[in-house]
Amino acid sequence: MSRPQGIRTDKLSLWYTKFQALVDVSLEIDHGRVTGLIGPSGCGKTTLLRSFNRINERIEGVRIEGHVHILGDDIYAPEVDLVELRKRVGMVFQRPNPLPLSVRENVLFGLRVHVPRGELRRDELNHAVESSLKEVGLWDALKDKLGQRATSLSLEQQQKLCIARLLPLRPEILLMDEPCSALDPSATQRVEELIRELRDRYTIVIVTHNMAQARRISDECVFMLLGQVIEHRRTEDLFLSPKDERTANYVEGRFG
Amino acid sequence: MSREEVEGAGANPGAELGTGLGPRLGRSPARQRLHRAKELLIETVIRVCGVSAVIFVFGIFYFVFREAAPLLFGGLDLGELLTSGEWYPDSDNPRYGAFALIAGTLAVTLLAMLIAVPLGLGAAIFVSEFSRGRTREILKIVIELLAAIPSVVWGFIGLVIMNPLIIDLFDTPVGLNVLNGAILLALMSVPIIVSIGEDALKAVPDTYREAAEAMGATRWQVTWRVLLPAARNGLLAAVLLGVGRAVGETMAVLMATGHSVNVPDSPLDSVRTITATIASELGETAQGSDHYRVLFVLGSLLFLITFLVNLTADLVIRGFKRR
């Protein structure tokens, strides 16, 4: 059974001024699956993730060659609208980063920036808040605290809120950059559960340092080293019978 | 184990442990005393520098108030001072109604802020969020240069350049008026508003910008929806410090506002501010006379206003940091 293509990169290379962080990365990521990006620190996995919504370009001195296609569209084509791209491709960061606004306004932020003011009806907004918070399991805890500042929530709630605020825009792809690294083990477990629940509806690409986590939640895994993709296979296969010796050494914990 | 024992034994504990600290631990007691004395001296000097600011502020307030006090508590009608527009300090029947001076100060300050706040905050936003690299560096230097222009030079610009310009543009007989002074004050306040406003915006964590941009917000949307609310207190403080600057400024307004005691009806009326009155009249009064003392009362009033404005700014900044 062939799945539709979510993300395809073609000889993607990226430089931070002089330093080459990605080297000829060619990769195909299926739509509707969870793909884990693993590898030691500095291997380029976060850089790769951040080139899928072009947020890398915030940094001065970034130069990119090659192509990235998302659901068939070349996102580095000159006519691409970054605003539209980021509506389709949502991102969750390593440290929860809710905006210093109320819980409700955090969830609605995407709608507010993408939809002209006149077209937002109050009941639609209310519905968006409720359904997004329900989807991430925060509704019961926060339904009476929608006016509270989001930055005062617990880290777990903040990170779930950061996922919830992507949902009103109906993104097709969710990028997650070590979304649990700031959370304690039980919070991690609950966020992982949430990711599992979301997997059917979105293409999820998740960067993780934690190999056990990669095994638990990803369908496929990409192992990277020094800016290159070494191996990309089904998670089980990658961990149980890696083809490349470097992959084997990494997943067995001989370096990392 | 005392130091003498260690030295006497010729031991070098550092060497034994391999820390390399040995020779230092073995410094002679005399040198150590000298070292301590030096340390103490430096500490004392620095402490005096720090405390001197407090002494100066209170000292200045004390001397100004001391000159004002005999009149303030001995016969001055404070109600008349604050509400009457009759400022005839040199008349045979002197009247000290400073309302026109207060109104002049407020009018110039208010109009200056109407110009300076949008301009200053706009520039702060541009420098902090919309410019990069060389453009930003050059802009910052030029804006700081603006702050370095002496106020008498601003006054000169008011007299020689703005005056004819205002006469031409608005078809009025005199161009030395509220508008002229306000524009100068605005330009003098802008650098303060820009540099403090920029600091406030820079203090907003970059993760907020990144989060908002990753959701597809444009740079203006990030600024409007996230940064301005987040930096609100810092920006308010920037504005208040700009106000403080404008209220206390003397030379430029003395030269540019027309020097006529008058409650203004329009920005094109000439006025005289509190500061300009003190600067121009104090030299001609007899020391200890009522006229002399009433100028010090006005000085105290001015001091009080700027003090309150700065205090408010400070409290606002503090509130900003605590959050």
A110/chain B closest Cα distance in angstroms: 6
CA dist., res. B100 & res. B272, Å (int): 8
Same domain? B7 vs B156: no
Taking each helix axis from N to C end, the angle separating A185-198 and A155-164, rounded to the nearest 10 degrees, works out to 10
Q: How much is the pLDDT for B59?
A: 93
CA dist., res. B292 & res. B289, Å (int): 5
Phi, psi of A124 (to 5 degrees): -65, -40
A98 vs B contacts (CB less than 8 Å): 211
pLDDT (mean) for A8-35: 90
Candidates A99, A165, A166, A174, partner chain B, best to mutate (most B CBs within 10 A): A99
Same domain? B59 vs B183: no
Closest CA to A163 of A126, A132, A207, A202: A132
> b vs e for A170-200, b when ≥16 Cβ sit within 10 Å of the residue's Cβ?
ebbbbbbbbbbbbbeeebbebbbebbeebbe
Question: What is the token pair recorded at B134?
Answer: 């060389």
Tokens 């000290």 map to which residue?
B96
Same domain? B114 vs B13: no
CB contact under 8 A, B216 and A114: yes
Closest CA to A45 of A70, A11, A21, A66: A21
CA dist., res. B308 & res. A255, Å (int): 62
- When pLDDT is cut at 50, 70 and 90, the band that residue A4 belongs to is low
Model confidence at A78: pLDDT above 60: yes
Q: How much is the pLDDT for B1?
A: 40
A56 vs B contacts (CB less than 8 Å): none
Let me know if A12 is exposed, middle or buried by CB neighbors in 10 A (0-12, 13-18, 19+).
buried
Of B133, B218, B226, the CB nearest to A99: B226
Same domain? B218 vs B310: yes
Same domain? B212 vs B293: yes
- Give how many domains chain B has, as a whole number: 2
B120/chain A closest Cα distance in angstroms: 24
Question: What is the token pair recorded at B2?
Answer: 């005392």
Greatest Cα pair distance, chain B, in angstroms, is 96
Residues belonging to chain B with any Cβ–Cβ distance to chain A shorter than 8 Å:
132-133, 207-218, 221, 225-226, 229-230
Same domain? B107 vs B233: yes
Q: How much is the pLDDT for A182?
A: 85
Same domain? B38 vs B84: no
Model confidence at A94: pLDDT above 70: yes
Q: Supply the DSSP string of B149-217, one letter for each residue.
A: S-HHHHHHHIIIIIHHHHHHHHT-S---SHHHHHHHHHHHHHHHHHHHHHHHHHTS-HHHHHHHHHTT-
Tokens 């629940």 map to which residue?
A197
Q: How much is the pLDDT for A1?
A: 45
Q: Sheet with A34-38: list strands edge to edge.
A: A89-92, A173-177, A203-207, A34-38, A220-225, A228-234
Same domain? B51 vs B124: no
The β-bridge relationship of strands A228-234 and A173-177 is unpaired
Q: How much is the pLDDT for B238?
A: 92
ipTM of the complex as predicted? 0.88
Classified as helix, coil or strand, B9 is coil
Closest residue of chain B to A170, computed from CA coordinates: B215
Q: How much is the pLDDT for A224?
A: 92
Residue B128 contacts residue B198 (beta carbons within 8 Å)? yes
Bridge partners of A233, per DSSP, are A221
Q: Sheet with A19-30: list strands edge to edge.
A: A19-30, A5-16, A62-70, A73-74
Same domain? B32 vs B123: no
Q: How much is the pLDDT for B24?
A: 60
Same domain? B133 vs B221: yes
Q: How much is the pLDDT for B10?
A: 44
Model confidence at A219: pLDDT above 80: yes
Tokens 């207060």 map to which residue?
B102
Q: Supply the DSSP string of chain A, one letter for each residue.
A: -PPPEEEEEEEEEEEETTEEEEEEEEEEEETTSEEEEE-STTSSHHHHHHTTTTGGGGSTTEEEEEEEEETTEETTSTT--HHHHHHHEEEE-SS----SSBHHHHHHHHHHHHS-GGG--HHHHHHHHHHHHHHTT-HHHHTT-TTSBGGGS-HHHHHHHHHHTTGGG--SEEEEESTTTTS-HHHHHHHHHHHHHHTTTSEEEEE-S-HHHHHHH-SEEEEEETTEEEEEEEHHHHHHS-SSHHHHHHHTTS--
Of B210, B216, B218, the CB nearest to A110: B216
Residues 6 or more apart whose Cβ sits within 8 Å of residue A229: A25, A26, A27, A222, A223
pLDDT (mean) for A160-178: 91
Residue at which a domain ends, from B25, B56, B74:
B74
CATH number, span A5-100+170-251: 3.40.50.300
CA dist., res. B208 & res. A97, Å (int): 7
B206/chain A closest Cα distance in angstroms: 10
CB contact under 8 A, B226 and A85: no
Residue at which a domain ends, from B45, B74, B103:
B74
Residue at which a domain ends, from B24, B55, B74:
B74
Q: How much is the pLDDT for A2?
A: 53
Bridge partners of A149, per DSSP, are A102
CB contact under 8 A, A109 and B132: no
Q: How many CB atoms within 10 Å of residue A254?
A: 9
pLDDT in tens, B141-168: 999 899 899 999 999 999 999 999 999 9
One-letter amino acid of A8: R
Q: How much is the pLDDT for B8?
A: 42
Residues belonging to chain A with any Cβ–Cβ distance to chain B shorter than 8 Å:
53, 55, 58, 60, 82-87, 90-91, 93, 95, 97-101, 109-110, 112-114, 162, 165-166, 169
CA dist., res. B259 & res. B155, Å (int): 13
Residue B149 is part of which domain span?
80-322
Long-range contacts of B303-307 (CB under 8 A, 24+ apart): B303/B60, B303/B61, B303/B64, B305/B247, B306/B244, B306/B247, B306/B248
pLDDT (mean) for A172-183: 90
Domains of chain A, by residue range, sit at: 5-100+170-251
- The whole-chain average pLDDT of chain A stands at 89
Find which of A212-221, A233-242, B38-47 is predicted with most confidence, using mean pLDDT.
B38-47
- When pLDDT is cut at 50, 70 and 90, the band that residue A30 belongs to is confident
Candidates B136, B215, B223, B225, partner chain A, best to mutate (most A CBs within 10 A): B215
Same domain? B54 vs B26: yes
Residue A227 contacts residue A206 (beta carbons within 8 Å)? no
Candidates A109, A111, A117, A151, partner chain B, best to mutate (most B CBs within 10 A): A109
Question: What is the token pair recorded at B75?
Answer: 């016969």
- Residue ranges for chain B with pLDDT beneath 70: 1-27, 320-323
Continuous segment of H or E residues that includes residue B233: helix B232-248
Closest CA to A195 of A166, A221, A220, A160: A160
Of A55, A84, A98, the CB nearest to B214: A55
Alpha helices for B18-162 (secondary structure H): 22-25, 29-72, 78-83, 99-125, 133-148, 151-157
CB contact under 8 A, B214 and A93: yes
A46 vs B contacts (CB less than 8 Å): none
Same domain? B106 vs B56: no
Residue A103 contacts residue A161 (beta carbons within 8 Å)? yes
Of A82, A100, A169, the CB nearest to B229: A100
Residue B287 contacts residue B266 (beta carbons within 8 Å)? no
Residue A70 contacts residue A89 (beta carbons within 8 Å)? yes
Of A86, A97, A169, the CB nearest to B207: A97
